[in-house]
Structure 1
């Protein structure tokens, strides 16, 4: 749950943490990126991708610094409590033998905090406790700020679930309708097909999609009402499948281009596609809300910032390779929302097993993540309405919260399976709040609190390289600009329609 402090768990090496972070960031957003690249033009897409990757790296270092400051506060409170307990034990003895006076007591209470802190300043900011983002918000924000944070994370998680709920039925519909239709070999004309076209028998494609959505909800929806635990091996399996799928798609696209069969001729720039590209890129770099669980178990954090920077360079390279091979391999009007589905044609892949593996890849990987995200959202709802010392009635705890978690994203998925727009809107709005606004305010307030508690001369060993206040203001200005740009673009688009 976002508001709890939990144990670190099993430690792992920095390089294992690097791999985990890579797997966390590279997910569903990557599969929608090729179409967004083709829509916005390759030059604009490349520039925006690099810039948004840099901005995500900046805010990642902000979150790490806030985590260290939160650990310092918790550690200092434990030290104070320990000293108070020792003082209580010794005062009763000292009152009989040493005669502790009121003046002595007052001098002890007013002793500067740094006189104790400096002895352990090197370890004070060590990240050992896993302090989730919600807990950091409650430590550094006022009540309004905490509620705004939870509202933002809840909206983002709703978007996540809506994307997942649409992606699985969409993939199943594309594969099954193509396998039974006139083009039984693949998806040669899928980019031009409408939802009202026939799938099999009297059923239209949209009917097949909604049937699959109902089955998906019936199978995975009940997990929202329970706790999902012990998913380690499922995560390992999905990670392996993800790497195989991405590697196969990149190799197939390169082979096709190398043989001179590439059909793509993407423009340099097309500003009409920037809105969705922006949202997709923000969504594709989202990791800030999961950093506490990811970073805290790293055994050695000495070169943490360098490793995070290396991770971002690798992710940028991977996104660039995946997207550029896609837009030069396929025509822009043939690129589907879910990139894996472009490889379901016989002219692309001759082996049926590979075609079905890539076509059904989102089904396996997304299905394992859906219950985890749903339980996370349910727990955030509980935390938002929680009151100290209060408990929820059984009906509210076991029925109401799971229901309000599950129903809205399923309804959204029922109304639309436009994955590019879903990813774009989720990233552009809720993603901006989680990736830019929250880290900027966290690092600003944690620096103020640290200066008051420990003195301005105390250095946070995990301080962000972007420690000047200018960067905080720049991130907030960029977030506001993005919000304004995306909103204006949507309004203009609707006006033209």
Structure 2
């Protein structure tokens, strides 16, 4: 995240890139979406998720355009440096008086910074170098903007870690303390004060599992973690199996007429949290440079991204609608997989119930060290000063601790995943998904306009290239932040 220009990696086809983007977007947020749907009502939820999918697609095209602009900026800088070097070499062949005369002639000439011949399709905007969002921010933002960018990324990653740190112990607690006897029938609503193992309460079991989780995965924050190809394949395979199973099992139960769900049509009190969950569930903008750059053929990039968003929207809708009509809405849990662990009316095979219950444990545990290392590196970048170095204690101890401790404390204080996902998506997610892409694309156009003129030949230009859409995105983000904040204040006042 904090890195700059790196190698593009092994190229792959556009359709492989489409699959990678699908796997990137569909993650933990999807598991919290059914409960958010049930809380907000099915009509409101469907309308909001369709609208937010369109907004996310719009800002995704903004980021792709900004990536192309960053590549063009880097090439222009290189050509300018080469031109200065060549001019310096050529000047060395002249006398001092001749150099002064040539310099005056150059200054008196009015010529474009970078010559673009009419009718020639330039390749300056080809996305061939991976420029991460942090590097794009340093190119197009001022110092304050760069710092705000990193603060937004850091807050989002903290929210991510808190969600992950809570999700794994919750899944382990439900599997260890839940009712797995098929004689009990449908799902049961438990309280934190209910017994788990004799005198040990469920909330105590949660904290025990959270402690174990911290001791096992926390040390990775002090080292470097790399996601391997085989790890991606394993987690993606488990994700597809689990999601497919949940959809099919819910459809079978609804088809048999055993569905217990009666969701409301509209419940406005659930909209703010649904907004945060949906924003979090469509999050991919911060990872687009690593995903898009290796694609070998980018001619139909916007069309492929649109197709991906349509597929993801359909998948989210199918998962959520089967959930809210299959299960009693009052019994839907924050983590949707947990509705299958103690409900033998839906699935009678014990192994499959345990698989669904532990599915988040395996997939989330593999991502936690990677996100923690990414957050640690962003902290280092935020405080980095040119030519400076960190003392060993600060580099190896302080930065890992300020990365690990806050999300673990949050997870100890609350394990309400719906609230954690909603707040992370509504605040930091709004910044990353709406505000940063809109600012990047606007400032990149403004920066390169003197170089290429009014009609910049950016082959990856967003379909929403009018400035109106940038203003609309920023206005929408601001209004959403005010609405969510006002709702939280009102809710707390009532309590």
Instruction: Tell me whether 1:217 sits opposite 2:214 in the alignment.
Output: yes
Within 5 A, what are the aligned runs for 1:193-208? 193-208=190-205
Instruction: Tell me whether 1:447 sits opposite 2:445 in the alignment.
Output: yes
Corresponding residue number in structure 2 for 1:95 = 94
Asked whether the 8 Å contact 1:122–1:461 carries over to 2, the reply is no
| SS of alignment partner, residue 199 of structure 1 | strand
| SS of alignment partner, residue 346 of structure 2 | coil
Query: How far 1:230 sits from its partner (Å)?
Result: 4.7
1:110-129 C-alpha deviation (Å, 9 max, x unpaired): 56235634387520111111
Instruction: Tell me whether 1:135 sits opposite 2:132 in the alignment.
Output: no
Q: Label 1:399 to 1:118 Cα distance change in 2 as closer, same or farther (>3 A).
A: farther
| SS of alignment partner, residue 196 of structure 2 | strand
| Separation (CA, whole Å) in 2 of partners of 1:191 and 1:29 | 23
Q: Label 1:463 to 1:437 Cα distance change in 2 as closer, same or farther (>3 A).
A: same
Q: Label 1:107 to 1:190 Cα distance change in 2 as closer, same or farther (>3 A).
A: farther
Query: How far 1:495 sits from its partner (Å)?
Result: 1.2
Corresponding residue number in structure 1 for 2:177 = 177
| SS of alignment partner, residue 71 of structure 2 | helix
Q: Label 1:187 to 1:481 Cα distance change in 2 as closer, same or farther (>3 A).
A: farther
| Separation (CA, whole Å) in 1 of partners of 2:316 and 2:183 | 26
Within 5 A, what are the aligned runs for 1:23-62? 23-62=23-62
1:139-175 C-alpha deviation (Å, 9 max, x unpaired): 1111111111111110000000000000000000001
| SS of alignment partner, residue 115 of structure 2 | helix
| Separation (CA, whole Å) in 1 of partners of 2:414 and 2:219 | 22
| Separation (CA, whole Å) in 1 of partners of 2:444 and 2:125 | 12
Corresponding residue number in structure 2 for 1:231 = 228
Query: How far 1:377 sits from its partner (Å)?
Result: 0.4
Corresponding residue number in structure 2 for 1:496 = 494
Within 5 A, what are the aligned runs for 1:95-494? 95=94, 101-108=99-106, 112-113=111-112, 116-118=115-117, 122-178=122-178, 184-185=181-182, 192-344=189-341, 345-494=343-492
| Separation (CA, whole Å) in 2 of partners of 1:148 and 1:212 | 35
Query: How far 1:80 sits from its partner (Å)?
Result: 1.4
Query: How far 1:104 sits from its partner (Å)?
Result: 2.9
Q: Label 1:288 to 1:27 Cα distance change in 2 as closer, same or farther (>3 A).
A: same
| Separation (CA, whole Å) in 2 of partners of 1:111 and 1:100 | 20
| Separation (CA, whole Å) in 1 of partners of 2:421 and 2:174 | 19
TM-score between the two structures when normalised by the length of structure 2:
0.96
Gaps of 5+ in 2: none
| Separation (CA, whole Å) in 2 of partners of 1:13 and 1:251 | 30
| Separation (CA, whole Å) in 1 of partners of 2:187 and 2:424 | 25
| Separation (CA, whole Å) in 1 of partners of 2:211 and 2:149 | 32
Query: How far 1:40 sits from its partner (Å)?
Result: 0.4
| Separation (CA, whole Å) in 1 of partners of 2:362 and 2:433 | 27
Query: How far 1:454 sits from its partner (Å)?
Result: 2.5
1:346-379 C-alpha deviation (Å, 9 max, x unpaired): 1111111110100000000000000010011000
1:372-399 C-alpha deviation (Å, 9 max, x unpaired): 1001100000000000000100100000
| Separation (CA, whole Å) in 2 of partners of 1:191 and 1:139 | 54
| SS of alignment partner, residue 457 of structure 1 | coil
Corresponding residue number in structure 1 for 2:85 = 85
Count of matched residue pairs: 492
Asked whether the 8 Å contact 1:266–1:328 carries over to 2, the reply is yes
Q: Label 1:393 to 1:115 Cα distance change in 2 as closer, same or farther (>3 A).
A: closer
| Separation (CA, whole Å) in 2 of partners of 1:297 and 1:379 | 23
| SS of alignment partner, residue 195 of structure 1 | coil
